[in-house]
Chains A and B, each alone.
Chain A
């Protein structure tokens, strides 16, 4: 039973990390109707932003967190202006490739400037575990969970309860009509991308702390899982993406714990194919349906 609960907790933590990345994708995906292949690399930039801050400036957690968020947010902003906006309205495949090009630049740029190998992440918070009785959770895991849940709460609040968030949903569903009622679609898109990027930066920091390392090419693995979550959930409801991500994390953790870890990565893909075969628009449907 203990193993089960522990794996469950692990699963929730992993799942919540997937969720924050997926939410960032989903935000851009629904509002701009494009896949931003550079998003996982923006995640990675946030990770290194935090790492550099912790190594050369200060170990204060809050400052490091802000550094992560800002570095990722800045890259997101630049990306939106230079690449996403000019390509708006064109074939989404083009945006895909262009953001991929940017992703390649970011990965290899960081690899060249810092290191192409895995780099140790400074311990900004102690790794002491907290004993919760049946299970134990380390501080970095706790932080991870809090950051993930916090980010999700922020996005949910933004999208559902603020006027601008409402406008964002309006743009996602019918951009022309939204514009015709005074919504500056460019501005909304920009905010969405920057928000998604900053959240990714924070998530990256907590992941870096959790595993104790950072890698220039880490974007790929998380990116694919994030994609899968959006596709399986459909782009209609943000909350759907969160659920799918958590479920995926739990599924992976349970299978790793009870069976073996060799086929862990294949699970996500199997899930994708199975769900999309039955419901091509995702579990919760999509706007274009």
Chain B
């Protein structure tokens, strides 16, 4: 089966400092793919490369959408979005000076306006707290609420692939569990998910497959259940092996 997203041997460096050295990743349609790694391993760099916000020195990224293969290195960020890819950035990155409603509207900027209105309604059914706070400035919401806005924003345009960067960062454990359940719900509707995380335990529970990234290289890959039992993963993330 051909993968939906195929990252082939990419090398990314900032001036003289390498961030990714020959990383290859495959994501298949309908799955939740998790990339694990400590801080600085290069996880956010992968996402930014896919979305076109970071220069790639070597390698390629291709997306299989609507029956044909698209070379993402040749496309601009807004064009990549229009293929059906959305982003939940690290740290939420909402537009703090705009209302929640405006943030959601921006999520549907490239989509049909009538559909966007409908989708916003749907999102507010999923996240009742958003309905309450829809006219508040996004910058005034709590961390968990902001995460919901960021997630909802990414779903407005009915994407085929959502890239999520460190969903759990800065959130209380209960909220984290809630958020991950939402990710499962989203995936159940047919949306493929690339999730980059430090919180291995929770992430592996909902993942289909996973990769482990260390200092810019892939060191482990496979089914989530398998990875959870591997020594390396246990040592680094799960607090030692049982």
Q: Judge whether B202 is part of the interface by a CB distance below 8 angstroms.
A: no
Whether B53 is near chain A, meaning CB under 8 Å from some CB there, is: yes
Cα(A68)–Cα(B53), bound, Å: 39
Answer whether A182 and B105 are a contact pair too, CB < 8 Å, given A173-B97, A177-B95.
Answer: no
Cα separation A184 to B51 with both chains bound (whole Å): 14
- The A-B contact count (CB < 8 A) is 73
Kindly specify which of B106-114, B175-183, B190-198 makes contact with the partner chain. B106-114
Q: Is there contact, CB below 8 Å, between B98 and A182?
A: no
Find the B residue at minimum CB distance from A163: B109
Q: Is A277 an interface residue (CB 8 A)?
A: no
A166 to B113, CA, bound (A): 14
Report A-chain residues with C-beta under 8 Å of the C-beta of B81.
179-182
Across the interface, name the chain A residue whose C-beta is closest to B89. A177
Is A169 engaged at the interface, CB distance under 8 Å to the other chain? yes
Complex: how many Å from CA A170 to CA B157?
A: 17
Q: Is A176 an interface residue (CB 8 A)?
A: yes
Per the 8 Å Cβ criterion, residues 171-215 of A in contact with B are 173-174, 176-185
A239: shortest Cβ distance to chain B, in Å?
Answer: 12
Q: Which residues of A lie under 8 Å from residue B153 when comparing CB positions?
A: 181
**Do A170 and B106 contact each other (CB < 8 Å), given the known contacts A180-B51, A182-B81?**
yes
Closest residue to B102 on the A side, CB-wise? A166
Q: Contacts A166-B102, A169-B98: A181 and B53 contacting too (C-beta < 8 A)? A: no
A39 interfacial contact with B, CB 8 Å:
no
| CB of A202, distance to nearest CB on chain B (Å) | 28
Inter-chain contacts of B105 with A (CB < 8 A): 163, 166
Additional A-B contacts beyond A174-B93, A181-B86, A184-B76 (20; CB < 8 A): A166-B102, A166-B109, A167-B106, A169-B97, A169-B98, A170-B98, A170-B106, A173-B95, A176-B77, A178-B106, A179-B52, A179-B76, A180-B77, A180-B80, A180-B81, A181-B81, A181-B153, A182-B110, A182-B157, A184-B78
**A/B interface sample: 18 pairs, CB < 8 A:** A163-B113, A166-B106, A169-B97, A169-B98, A173-B96, A173-B98, A177-B89, A179-B52, A179-B53, A179-B77, A180-B51, A180-B78, A180-B81, A180-B87, A181-B81, A181-B87, A182-B109, A287-B97
